[in-house]
Structure 1
Amino acid sequence: MNAAVLQQVNTLQVNPLSAHIGAEIHGVDLTQPLDAQRVAEIRAALLRWKVVFFRKQFLTHEQHVAFSQQFGELTVGHPVFGHVDGHQEIYSISKYRKATRFQGEALLRPWTGWHTDVTAAVNPPFASILRGVTIPPYGGDTQWTNLVVAYEKLSEPLRHFVDGLRGLHRFAPPPGVKATTEYDANVKQTALLTEHPLVRVHPETGERALYVSPGFLKSIIGVSPRESQAILELLWEHVIRPEFTVRFKWEPGSVAFWDNRATAHLAPTDILDLEFDRQLYRTTLVGDVPVGPDGRPSLALEGSPVIAAQAIAQN
């Protein structure tokens, strides 16, 4: 294989998939405990490529949790929508899970569906680890975008401008749809509203990321509603530029591990037009409170920080 494409990182093979984001990692068995060197190598690849993928890793729920725990503390499956019965750290990503949340047809725009996980919380997950179990023979791809490169590719005046902005993140239905009674009940029971900087300084790399999750960021603080809309639409259109993204084709046993502090992703909707089933499972790792370029941390306006599932169990 071409040495320019295949990158050897000690005992692992890291095969980049695009210019700015995404790499497949080979040479590791995720069903077994990893030594400190392997954990460090995978983490280094994650920081470099923002999302890393593994193939043919047929994990049980228990093995999925055990692999994830080697990189940090696990949250409950989802702070608002619960977890898999008997496995509080695991969240089910099923084909029709959103059918219980929204009614009506969403106003579709280029960035519809793109999001960074749970940015309504003051400490969104550090990372998410998603494994494929039931995968359609075609369709159902997931996409990720690199929010660090998106920030770097802004013009210098615009970078300076957004460095000082902050926005409100909350759970709310997409434009054009109505929440179901079940969705409303879940959101009210675990209300989360947070003020985050629009630019987040990565706590490990020091990189600046354009922290503008389209699914959660509702408005910019201190500007008029029209100014907020115009600025956000400009930024959302920018962060999903194709050259910043990678598209992953799932197989049974595939695992995706992404840095939630530096990426946004898009779940597929084409599977709803297919008769095939699709089932994945996700764990998330407890995150820190984002900090902007001015040193100001995010501020929780409603709700509490997301804590480790183990701490919840002990209480």
Structure 2
Amino acid sequence: MTSVIENRQTDTAQLTVEPIAGYLGAEVSGIDLKDDITAQVGDALRDALFEHKVLFFRDQRLDHDQQIRFTEYYGPVTGAHPLGYTDKSPAGFPEILEVDSRTYASRAGGRQYSYASFWHQDVTALVNPPAVTVLRAELVPEFGGDTTWADLAAAYDNLPASLQRFLEGLNAENRFGGRAPQWSDGSESESLTRDKPIISEHPVVRVHPVTGRKLLYVNPGFTSRIVGLSARRSDRILDLLFDEVTNPAYTVRIAWTPDSVGVWDNRATIHLAPTDLGHLDVVRVLHRTTVEGDIPVGVDGRKSNSVSGEPFLSTRR
């Protein structure tokens, strides 16, 4: 069902939001993201994001400055990454993380097409993980390389009530790599996470600060253990929860096209970078920006706490 946002227009066309999957995801048309966005349209885009959790815009030829300016409609823009990765930012744009397959080391049998080709939220090792992520495609293969997102509210809603209540009393530790880091010995990721550890404890069930929805707030890429439980019990619970949050029923898979822009609510979703390109000789280049996040709050009002590391804040105040 297509929803047309009435009386909220750009200079050229009417904004249209078309859902593309059962739980989450929508394609947005009728807007040129290079243009100045009115307050009404900005409000409509924020409302659409919180409703659909993932928005996709096609045929948006943006430069780095324009991407940063668009990202600012969702909040203060952070640096590219809390660990630095300054070599992965275009010159003069420290807010942008360049995801370029040509910069990643080759793996046995093929290439790597993202620095995190596993289910994750963006940087939940932080005490205030990014609220929103914007990813712009520059070069993408003719086929393959899709990204998949999953709905953390749907994952929580579909649990039995008794299990919901149990989980609402738990905290989980989040660190880079989660339970089983997938980087090689001596790699840049290993050295950065060793020399600058960032570790936080978050409620297993988080309340979204805008929608009030309860979210199953764990992800395989960062969640390492349930606080206060033995390793065996923690692993059993995390196995159950990881299976739930990656249930295909709660997902949307979207194909990138040149000049497409994806925006997702990083509080309410997890995502999976492509794993189907390693045997192909293709190039994939995208540019990521993130919005400063808030400190998660649990159902009982408990806030996340930092074990190691500082909040990740915007430098543009």
TM-score by length of 2: 0.90
Query: Which residue in the other structure is 1:145 paired with?
Result: 150
Which stretch of structure 1 is more off in the superposition, 302-311 or 72-81? 302-311
Residues 183 and 54 of structure 1, relative CA distance in 2, 3 Å threshold: same
Q: CA deviation at 1:96?
A: 5.2
Shift of 1:172: 2.9
Kindly state the Cα deviation for residue 8 of structure 1 after the two structures are TM-superposed.
Answer: 1.1
* Amino acid corresponding to residue 25 of structure 1 in structure 2: V
**1:51-70 Cα shifts (integer Å, max 9, x gaps):** 10000001000110111112
In 2, Cα distance between equivalents of 1:187 and 1:96: 23
CA distance in 2, matches of 1:239, 1:188: 28
2:2 paired with 1:6: yes
Aligned with residue 266 of structure 1, among 272, 283, 290: 272
Partner of residue 178, structure 1:
184
Q: Note closer, same or farther for the CA distance 1:185–1:234 as it changes in structure 2 (3 Å cut).
A: same
Kindly indicate whether the alpha-carbon contact (under 8 Å) linking 1:95 and 1:272 is maintained by their aligned counterparts in 2.
Answer: no
| Alignment map for 1:61-72 (pairs within 5 Å) | 61-72=64-75
Counterpart-to-counterpart distance in 1, 2:224 and 2:58: 36
Q: Match for 2:237 among 221, 231, 234? A: 231
CA contact (8 A) 1:103 1:178 kept: no
**Mapping 1:1-315, distance limit 5 Å:** 5-10=1-6, 11-80=14-83, 81-82=85-86, 83-95=89-101, 99=105, 113-172=118-177, 174=180, 178-310=184-316
Task: Give the counterpart letter for 2:37 in structure 1.
Answer: L
Q: Distance in 2 between matches of 1:51 and 1:176?
A: 26
Q: Which amino acid aligns with 2:168?
A: D
Structure 2 unaligned blocks of 5 or more: 7-13, 111-116
Relative to structure 1, is the Cα distance of residues 280 and 291 closer, same or farther in structure 2, using a 3 angstrom cutoff? Answer: same
CA deviation profile, 1:143-167 (whole Å, cap 9, x unmatched):
0000001100011111111111101
TM-score w.r.t. the length of structure 1 is 0.91
Given that 2:167 and 2:205 are in contact with CA atoms closer than 8 Å, whether structure 1 keeps it comes out as yes
Contact 1:131 1:254 in 2 (8 A): yes
- Listed one character per residue, the Cα deviations across residues 281-309 of structure 1 (whole Å, up to 9, x for unaligned) are 00000000000111010000100000113
Change (3 A) 1:187 1:177: closer
Equivalent residue letter for 2:44: E
- Give me the whole-angstrom Cα distance separating, in 2, the residues matched to 1:118 and 1:175: 14
Contact 2:120 2:270 in 1 (8 A): yes
Residue number in structure 1 paired with 2:9:
none
Aligned mates of 1:16, 1:183 — CA distance in 2: 37
Distance in 1, Cα, partners of 2:220 & 2:103: 20
SS in 2 for 1:169: strand
Supply the AA of the counterpart residue of 2:153. Answer: V
**Identity, % of aligned positions:** 42
The aligned amino acid for 1:169 is: N
Instruction: Tell me if structure 2 keeps the 8 A contact 1:104–1:178.
Output: no
Letter in 2 for 1:195: E
Deviations 1:89-124 (A, max 9, x none): 100112255539x9999xxxxxx8100100000000
- What RMSD over aligned residues (CA atoms) do the two structures have, in Å? 2.0
- Distance in 1 between residues matched to 2:250 and 2:190, nearest whole Å: 34
